[in-house]
Amino acid sequence: MVPDTCLLYTTEAEAQRRGCDRVTVSSFTFQAPDFDQRHGYVETGRTLGIPGGHADVHMFKPLASGLTH
């Protein structure tokens, strides 16, 4: 498993263990919003005006009772 993916799954599992039922993240367009979307995160909005013509992409993912990967 790719280290970034392993870290994401570990973080989601820990959030769930602590009673969280959802996760929100943001990623600049010059970073890796596609990574989050490939792992079930849905874009909920963007903050425009980041220098260089970029945006801050806001995403959401519900955590199911049992994480599936």
pLDDT digits (tens, 9 = 90+) for 4-63: 889 999 999 999 999 999 999 999 999 989 999 999 999 999 999 999 999 999 999 999
What pLDDT score does 67 carry? Answer: 47
Tokens of residue 69, six digits: 């990967």
Model's pTM, two decimal places?
A: 0.80
pLDDT over threshold 80, residue 1: no
Tokens of residue 58, six digits: 């806001």
pLDDT over threshold 60, residue 68: no
Using alpha carbons only, give the angle 50, 43, 31 rounded to the nearest 5 degrees.
45
Question: Could you tell me whether strands 54-62 and 42-50 are parallel, antiparallel, or unpaired per DSSP bridges?
Answer: antiparallel
What pLDDT score does 65 carry? Answer: 60
